[in-house]
């Protein structure tokens, strides 16, 4: 079912607010990218771009945090000393 039309105003700096109902329906979040295309003399189409996930080495940033356990220095030293025996 189409969403009822809403009017937005272009600010002096060229910014436009997306109506709250549309943001909720499309699950739009801060920082999400939108593609703007001119489709006619007085028409614009806005497409929500899918999130681009990092690839390669960038995808690994922060990965190890999920498996890391916080340990005290004494615990590390005890484990190292056990290995020396």
Q: Express each pLDDT in 49-64 by its tens digit.
A: 988 777 788 777 777 7
Q: What is the pLDDT of residue 57?
A: 81
Alpha helices for 26-72 (secondary structure H): none
Confidence of residue 4 (pLDDT cuts 50, 70, 90): low
C-alpha pair distances (Å), 62 with each of 4, 36, 65, 66, 76: 42, 33, 6, 8, 22
Confidence of residue 76 (pLDDT cuts 50, 70, 90): confident
- Give dist(CA 3, CA 19) in Å, integer: 11
Q: Enumerate the domain spans of the chain.
A: 20-84
What percentage of residues in the chain have a pLDDT greater than 70? 94
Confidence of residue 2 (pLDDT cuts 50, 70, 90): low
């Amino acid at each position: 079912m189409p969403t009822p039309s809403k009017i937005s105003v272009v600010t002096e700096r060229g910014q436009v607010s997306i109506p709250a109902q549309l943001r909720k329906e499309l699950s739009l979040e801060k920082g999400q990218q939108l593609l703007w295309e001119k489709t006619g003399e007085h028409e614009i189409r806005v497409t929500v771009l899918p999130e681009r996930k990092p690839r390669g080495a960038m995808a690994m940033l922060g990965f190890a945090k999920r498996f890391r356990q916080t340990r005290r220095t004494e615990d590390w030293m005890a484990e190292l000393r056990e290995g020396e025996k």
